[in-house]
Amino acid sequence: MKWNTILPISMCVLFGLIQCQAPESTQTTASSPAPGSAVSVDRGEYILMTSGCNDCHTPKKMTPQGPVPDMDQFLAGYPAGRPMPEIDASLVAPGQWVLFTQDLLAAVGPWGISYAANLTSHETGIGTWTYDNFKVAMTEGKHKGMENGRPILPPMPWQEMKRLTDDDLRSLFAYLKSVPPIDNVVPDPVPPTAL
């Protein structure tokens, strides 16, 4: 199996281990927009909540039922200043393991350490992005949607997201731009040589 097959499957398994409850205002219902509907913020919310974006980009808090999204930090990404747990680099060598923090906000693998991005409308998130930046990020896997940007690192499944229609991408972008801004500068990735 290839990475782009194994990773989405393993992410689904991991997501199943976390109780990812959305607040009532973002839960989808049977009346959610159908695939192929026109561009809308509601459609974007539906895509985000059913695609698992919230699972990796929203910090979690512990409850008696286990970890749940901290909706005060909705889509803010890996919290600035949060230390990483100690990493045994021998576990993440090629052909070994991929490790995740318990809230899925950071991943360690042969690529080094990657952190979930801030997807809010704040300038430290996607607040200054244009739709073109978003489209390049989601369809070409370029960091910050810059044509000459570094590749977006695993586990971000941009290879799957690029299958969305242009209307779906525009709806998702419209929804993200409507998300309240949270000032959070996510750490830069760490190359494998620094592990």
Total structural domains within the chain: 1
pTM attached to this predicted model: 0.80
Tell whether 102 is covered by a domain: yes
Beta carbons within 8 Å of 130's beta carbon, 6+ residues apart = 145
Tell whether 183 is covered by a domain: yes
Tell whether 20 is covered by a domain: no
Tell whether 26 is covered by a domain: no
pLDDT tens digits, one per residue of 70-84: 999 999 999 999 999
Q: pLDDT band at 38, cuts 50/70/90? A: confident
Specify the 3-state DSSP secondary structure of 121: coil
Per-residue model confidence (pLDDT) at position 145: 95
Amino acid at 56: C
Length of the chain as a residue count: 195
Query: Can you give the residue range of the structural domain that contains 111?
Result: 3-8+43-194
Average per-residue pLDDT in the chain? Answer: 85
CA 155/CA 3 separation, integer angstroms: 10
Per-residue model confidence (pLDDT) at position 94: 86
Determine the average pLDDT of the residues in 89-113: 93
Per-residue model confidence (pLDDT) at position 62: 86
Tell whether 161 is covered by a domain: yes
Q: What percent of the chain has a predicted confidence (pLDDT) above 70?
A: 81
Alpha carbon 116 to chain centroid distance? 6
Tell whether 133 is covered by a domain: yes
Which comes out higher in pLDDT, residue 38 or 78? 78
Q: pLDDT band at 27, cuts 50/70/90? A: very low
Tell whether 104 is covered by a domain: yes
Tell whether 28 is covered by a domain: no
CA angle 70, 109, 155 (to 5 degrees): 50
CA 139/CA 65 separation, integer angstroms: 36
Per-residue model confidence (pLDDT) at position 177: 98
Using alpha carbons, select from 161, 136, 153 the residue that is nearest to residue 188. 153
CA 83/CA 106 separation, integer angstroms: 11
